[in-house]
Amino acid sequence: MTGYEKNIEIKMQRLFATLSEKDRRRYAGIEAAKLGHGGIDYVSGLFEMDPKTVRRGLTELESPEDPAPSRVRKKRCGP
């Protein structure tokens, strides 16, 4: 599997940091799907998230409707 160039990875990480938790999962899922075989491991490493979370994002994207469209967790305030 071929990954992204370093300058693209940096931009992806910057975007990722601005997203809500739900959007992070889904964005990671989209990127993993684009990469194909090995994509989940690559993306989970890039975004420092559990591979199960990336799989959950992929599963959520398979659903025709968002089961909780207005539910978004607030960002944490502390360390």
Alpha helix positions (H), 1-79: 6-18, 21-35, 39-46, 51-62
Which band of pLDDT confidence, cut at 50, 70 and 90, is reported for residue 78? low
DSSP SS3 for 47: coil
| DSSP state letter for 76 | P
> What is the model's pTM?
0.81
pLDDT tens digits, one per residue of 17-71? 999 999 999 999 999 999 999 999 999 999 999 999 999 999 999 988 766 665 5
Q: Is the CB of residue 18 less than 8 Å from the CB of residue 26?
A: no
Q: Which residue, 2, 3, 1, 46, is CA-closest to 27?
A: 46
